Structure 1
């Protein structure tokens, strides 16, 4: 799947307790980076986390392309836009989890 800036993508994960976590990401830009000896493209995103379809959080994060599994649904995009509009400057994920 070709990833395009400003588009919305998503990924779902089912936890052991059967709760579904969904991340919905809007791609802001693409950057090349190295992790150890591995060079890869990263996608700079604004990311919303849903737990069983309910809003959990929204933050900035960088993702490897393999984590963007599908296009976000219209309802996911609308929920993202709603919650993004309620938040000013987003914190980066690393800052967010420290709180």
Structure 2
């Protein structure tokens, strides 16, 4: 596979990031999808080939886990506006 050995962290959101993550997973990348806790479960057709973890990013422990994942990854995909999560990495 072309992207074997590449680790991608995808912050789940609207179409662009999940679609990109799906394509990267199809090419062999290890994609870890970070979902919010307490979200209604829906059928996600773009989740194939991904691992998933649910984190509460309003909790410092959840933010610490996300930071650790991002440091260990090669790529971070995030579909959010700057104001919605900028404080996570610039504390």
Give the TM-score taking structure 2 as reference length.
0.26
- Bigger strand fraction: 1
Q: Relative contact order (alpha carbons < 8 A, sep ≥ 6): 1 or 2 greater?
A: 2
